[in-house]
Amino acid sequence: MHTKENSAASDGMHSGKKYRVVIAGGGTAGWVAAAALSKKLGALVDITLVESEAIGTVGVGEATIPPMRVFHQLLGIDEREFMRATSATFKLGIEFENWGQQGERYIHAFGKNGRESWLAEFHHFWLRGLERGIDTGIGDYCLELQAAEQGRFGIGPNSNINYAYHLDAGLYAKFLRSFSEKLGVQRVEGKIAGVEQDKDSGHIEALRLESGQCIAGDLFIDCTGFRGLLIEQTLHSGYEDWSHWLPCDSAVALQTESTGAMAPYTRSMARESGWQWRIPLQHRTGNGLVYCSGHLSDDDARAQLLENLAGKPLTDPRLIRFRTGRRRKAWHKNCIALGLASGFIEPLESTSIHLVITGVTRLLQNFPVDGISPATVDYYNRETRAELEKIRDFIVLHYHLTRRNDSAFWRYCADMEIPQTLRERMDLFRESGRAYQAEGELFRVDSWVQVMIGQGLMPRSHHPLPNMMSDRELQGFLAGLRENIQRAVAQLPAHEAFVRDYCPMARAGSGMEAGAAESLAK
């Protein structure tokens, strides 16, 4: 019954008809997709999003990275409005505790380290300074890191500070839903009972809801989470398992009351068989423990999380299961998987929402309004795979580059075989101090350097360029950078004071914005 209507999926659009996009699932992934497509291609597409209030979302992707700001600018989203609506705070990086060794800590910040030259990155000058007795930390030369350490933050017309956000994921989805519906996106409430396919091509023709309603489309976006209702259960695109490199497969999450000043960074605290996060929002704190179920039972994980909270719990611990890896085809036939449906790299470096954004951006750049091309699909899948593998390597680095031997979990991580691409990068840095950002790679040289040095991987040598400076010149160069950063940080207000002035969360008569109260009640 839908074959003729859906021929546009493979044969191009009929004249005068809009391309029908159907998004299966809401949550952050679904509404990010709806917002981007409706804003950028609204005149060409009809967008329907199907979701059910009865089906919960994971909703714990509450820390982000700086590229989100570019995405919001492309959509014309006002920063203050967005932050007020989502109880957001600012994020300058992630503090890692007990990762290299128990008792150690470092911050992976979003800023640049010092000032590089054309031939050599800044850390080569820093390494030369260590040789000459200038005993400073690499973090002393990063504005964002020093601001995070001192709990300061501020932006203005002349500010070049690099930052992201902590946000309430549930409220963010609601914010984007309102944004999208104003642009014409139609939301349909209901559970998907079946998927109708063309008997010849296998392309998806329609979603059949429990109510009996059928939602026909030309292109389907799977945002159904880990179950991958369309991309896997229907189209069987396959899954590449990465659990041998990223062995954590479970998490328990809960929300607590805020205590103390809210820090402008995420905390990641390594535990016996995984790690604990702490994310400060305006109205509460997000908490969770990511762990390997082969080394820690669910009951012990809950107990460990509850024993290490800083505030009174507002919700009961919620158990989340996952398997790290990726779909072998993120785009298969006329279906594209986004978010958890496309795969999962655990949230250690806050990349989950970013991957949704890059996935939908890649779709916008390659949108099949004239029909789905095999070359386009191949390109999309190739680029998606390359992006995921580069991020995977960066996350594996944190686990493998540990000197902890206090538990079977950490001994496994230290001894495990790692991807050859990561092995080569670590060897290059160890032997020569050379770090790089590959083409299309998310994490910059500064990120790789901060994590490798932060967890104890020190190069045996460095580039010869700094050797051409006299000790006095080197001392003056490094001291000047440190002094400039400290002067800049001293001019910034306290993070919490800036948030309360810049983007205080909207309050109702009950003392809390209604959406936040609803989120807390879940």
Catalytic residues, by residue number, are: 91
Opening angle at CA 167, ends 166 and 170, nearest 5: 155
In the three-class reduction of DSSP (H, G, I as helix; E, B as strand; rest coil), residue 287 is classed as strand
Distance between CA atoms of residues 320 and 298, nearest Å: 10
Q: How many CB atoms lie within 10 A of CB 462?
A: 21
Opening angle at CA 271, ends 387 and 239, nearest 5: 35
CA dist list (Å): 331 to 40, 51, 196, 213, 232: 20, 21, 18, 26, 11
Residue 94 phi/psi, 5-degree rounding, is -130, 130
Distance between CA atoms of residues 291 and 196, nearest Å: 38
The b/e string for 366-395 (b: 16+ C-beta within 10 A; e otherwise) is bbbeeebeeeebeebbebbbebbbbbbbbb
* Sign of the dihedral defined by the CA atoms of residues 287, 191, 3, 33, in that order: negative
Tokens of 232: 């896997």
Residues forming beta bridges with residue 105, ordered by sequence position: 97
Place of tokens 């479970």: 250
- The single-letter code of the amino acid at 136 is T
- The single-letter code of the amino acid at 509 is G
Tokens of 174: 């609601």
Q: How many CB atoms lie within 10 A of CB 3?
A: 14
Distance between CA atoms of residues 150 and 2, nearest Å: 61
Q: Which of 176, 175, 166, 283 is nearest to 520 (CA)?
A: 283
